[in-house]
Chains A and B, each alone.
Chain A
Amino acid sequence: MHNKTPLIRLSKRKALPTSKAWGIRLLAILLSLVFCAVLTMLVTDLNPVKVFATMFQGAFGTVRKTWTTGQEIAMLLLVSVALAPAFMMHFWNLGGEGQILIGGLATAACMILLGGKIPNGILILVMTVSAMAAGAIWAFIPAFFKAKWNTNETLFTLMMNYVATQLVAYYVIIWEVPKGSGKIGIINQSTEAGWLPQIGSYKYLLNILIALAVTVLMFIYMRYSKHGYELTVVGESERTARYVGIKVEKVIVRTLILSGAVCGLTGLLLVGSTNHTITTTIADNRGFTAVMVAWLAKFNPISMILSSALLIFLKRGASEISTMYHLNQSFGDILTGIILFFIIGSEFFIQYQIHFRKKGQ
């Protein structure tokens, strides 16, 4: 019996030249845009180019919108950069949301309890230190358990999120104004005590600069420092790490402290610089979106600037489409999902090659 080779066969590629890989990625993005365009036309009867122009409008249409887009990118970027060293170490820190919240809670606590009691400069210093320490502790706990008893870090960090959310909910009720409303409102609105300084007349410039600075520092740390090398080895092969005498437990704890501290910093910026209040939803799922940003950028902090920019552009653009064309907010999310799906799918085609049965095989 003559056995035929299967009609469609997959084989893992050996290696793809970088240009070809990027060609596939670009093609995926283009195809996704075409797909979205067709979908938009079928569902809404609108000119797709106009739809994409509106997306652009939503992100960059006015000076104010551009600044808001910049601030959104900065916040998402900061969280993604926080997750980068942990992910590079193959420690799936899904607790970014909780680490942001606890950092924000520490910040709010300082603003509410110490506002007006100590000089503003010192207050801001205390806020910064406590926010970063709070975030660091929040990440330290799951890291310690993983290092000592090899607990599952994915579950542990996820559950810490819930604890943080409930802590914030509790303190919101304690500090609420007015009684029973469940809201704190803007903290120190008249005195601006503890409000992070604004650079000139630009509300969000400080956030953007801090985010970029931390991104560059993290890139240098991961690529060129001894710590960065150690955590990369631990992530790639724990056995090799032990073989060369790297203290794996110490590296895990150290890296997560860093990761949590940067998330805490994000909480500081969200509470002390942007919103001047705290709610349980102030992190706005950035801790989870950042996972996507980090993976798309292959854990390279500089690449995260691009991937966070892409996601924020899609989000703001989709929101604008929903508002302008009276569509439900979810339509924009559908478009974002399709584009992401295509991008991730392209990774598959970069890893594997499809062979079709040729005649006579």
Chain B
Amino acid sequence: MKKVLSILLASVLCIGTLAACSTAAPAPAAAEPAQEAAEEAAAPAADLSSVKIGFICLHDENSTYDLNFINGAKEACEELGVEYMIRTNVPEGQECYDAACEMADAGCNIVFADSFGHEDFMIQAAKEFPEVQFCHATGTKAHTEGIANYHNAFATIYEGRYLAGIAAGMKLNEMIESGKITAEEAKIGYVGAFTYAEVISGYTSFFLGARSVCPSATMEVTFTGSWYDEIAEKEGATNLINDGCVLISQHADSMGAPTACETAGVPDVSYNGSTIAACPNTFIVSSRIDWAPYYKYIINCVAAGEAIDTDWCGDISTGSVVLTDVNEAVAAEGTVAAIEEAKAALEAGTVHVFDAAAITVGGEPLTTYMADVDTDPEYTPDTEVVADGYFHESEYRSAPYFDLQIDGITLLDTAF
């Protein structure tokens, strides 16, 4: 017993000595745990120094999806010099509600969540903290819930996809001209996650962009049933390649499809970030949403005491929709110029991605469509969205609602 006691005392001495060691400053912009945690945030003050923003992420930096949000967050907050905290690996369950409330308790006046499944729990937290602003990306309920402090946000990523599609179409043209494929063989493969409007909107706009420069292009789509499943995505891409697809794109968060393309030597247009490092011989370009503009917007709103838009949809002009650098080694000649030209046209409003003239559904031209804009369990279509000769995507709510199956695109499976 004496021996144990003396070892115990020695350890206590060790710890005491270690504690006495002075420390370097913790990582920059780290938020000190607020001791006065119980108080809710006061009404938004007029300057930036009073703003504290919390970010809730579904996974962490290892997921390209969340990495995109985290990078945007750091960029915006450091530029504006605002205190922030990031909680990663928050599942789409009660934990999200707890995390949001804890952030509100810790003094945050804005709480942001990045995943679709966080929405119901963010709404719950918003009801409990009326003085705190709750902003949610990809969500669909802000415009129907009618809660003043709950907001949705998205961006016109379909425009980004369209531009990326142009790069793909140019590549297809290059392959046709070089004789590598015939015009009829210009088939694009797309690895999607779910038959969800956001995904459908994504691949349709990509296809329309490709078809605008390569009229004979067709597309096949396969679904994995998961936003992040490396094996399923790799398998999906390989199946598409084996089925004769000569170019691949995806809407999924892992490196599964890009690596399958690199191995097979098939050009790839990726998403959410450049994969040029891992796939230098096949990566063409990638589109993504830059969230920094949205973050700056909401921080400034709260600092100035202004209301945040219920449904905010960023576009090319706000800098929310961006393309990575084109990989000149793989892309066709003239790709950059073609993209710039189309980008200008989109911004000017002279070209619309979902132009009704370019779309047929089941052989019929697109003249009218009732989309399911207000979320309900019976999926009732409620809003007419075709007007002025085009489908008004992301205008009635920020999250996409284009879910038509247009001609030219074949779905290989629809289990998900």
Report which A residues bind B (CB closer than 8 A).
19-20, 23-24, 26-27, 30-31, 33-34, 37-38, 41, 44-50, 54, 57, 61-65, 68, 169, 173, 177-183, 185-186, 189, 274-277, 279, 281-282, 284, 319-320, 322-326, 328-329
Q: Contact between B91 and A180 (Cβ–Cβ < 8 Å)?
A: no
List, in ascending order, chain B residues with CB within 8 A of A177's CB.
375-377, 379
A37 to B91, CA, bound (A): 29
Contacts of B117 in A (CB 8 A): 183, 185, 279
Known: A20-B4, A62-B105, A279-B91. A47 touches B196 (CB 8 A): no
The verdict on B15 contacting chain A, using a C-beta distance below 8 Å, is yes
Assess A279 versus B7: contact at CB under 8 Å? Given A49-B18, A326-B86: no
Tell me the nearest residue of chain B to A47, going by C-beta: B23
| Interface pairs (22), CB distance under 8 Å | A27-B4, A30-B8, A37-B18, A45-B23, A46-B23, A46-B26, A61-B33, A62-B38, A64-B98, A64-B102, A178-B376, A180-B199, A182-B193, A182-B225, A186-B120, A189-B120, A274-B93, A281-B91, A322-B88, A323-B86, A324-B32, A328-B60
Interface class of chain B by DSSP: loop
The CA-CA distance from A41 to B200 in the complex, in Å, is 49
Cβ of A274 to closest chain B Cβ, rounded Å = 5
Assembled-state Cα–Cα distance A180/B225 (Å): 9
Closest to B200 in A: A180
In the assembled complex, B65 has its CB within 8 A of some CB on chain A: no
Nearest chain-A residue to B118 (Cβ)?
A183
Not counting A27-B4, A186-B121, a sample of 8 additional A-B residue pairs whose C-beta atoms are within 8 angstroms of each other reads A62-B105, A64-B98, A64-B102, A179-B403, A180-B416, A185-B117, A319-B89, A324-B26
Which residues of B pack against A, CB within 8 Å?
A: 1, 4, 7-8, 11-12, 14-15, 18-19, 21-24, 26-27, 29-33, 37-38, 60-61, 85-89, 91-94, 98, 101-102, 105-106, 116-117, 119-121, 124, 140, 193-197, 199-200, 225-227, 372, 375-377, 379, 403, 415-416
Q: Would you call B88 and A34 a contact (CB within 8 A)?
A: no
Report the Cα distance A118→B27, complex, angstroms: 56
CB distance from B309 to the nearest CB of A (A): 21
Q: A186 CA to B93 CA in the complex, in Å?
A: 9
B14 touches A34 (CB 8 A): yes
Q: Is the CB of A182 within 8 A of B120?
A: no
Q: How far is the CB of B411 from chain A (nearest CB, A)?
A: 12
Which residues of chain A come closer than 8 Å to B379, judged between CB atoms? 177-179
Assuming A26-B8, A61-B37, A185-B119, is B18 touching A48 (CB within 8 A)?
yes
Which residue in chain B gives the minimum CB-CB distance to A178?
A: B375
- State how many angstroms separate the Cβ of B104 from the closest Cβ of chain A: 9
Contacts of B200 in A (CB 8 A): 180
Given A47-B23, A179-B196, A328-B61: A275 touches B94 (CB 8 Å cut-off): yes
In the complex, the answer to whether A182 meets B196 with C-beta atoms within 8 Å is yes
When chains A and B are docked, how far (Å) is the Cα of A49 from the Cα of B18? 8
CA distance A178 to B15 in the complex (A): 54
A274 to B91, CA, bound (A): 13
A180 touches which one: B7, B32, B92, B403 (CB < 8 A)?
A: B403
- B376: chain A residues at CB < 8 Å are 177-178
Q: Would B4 and A37 count as touching, CB distance under 8 A?
A: no
Is B102 within 8 A of A178, CB to CB? no
CB distance from B235 to the nearest CB of A (A): 17
Taking A19-B1, A322-B88 as contacts, is the C-beta distance between A33 and B197 under 8 angstroms? no
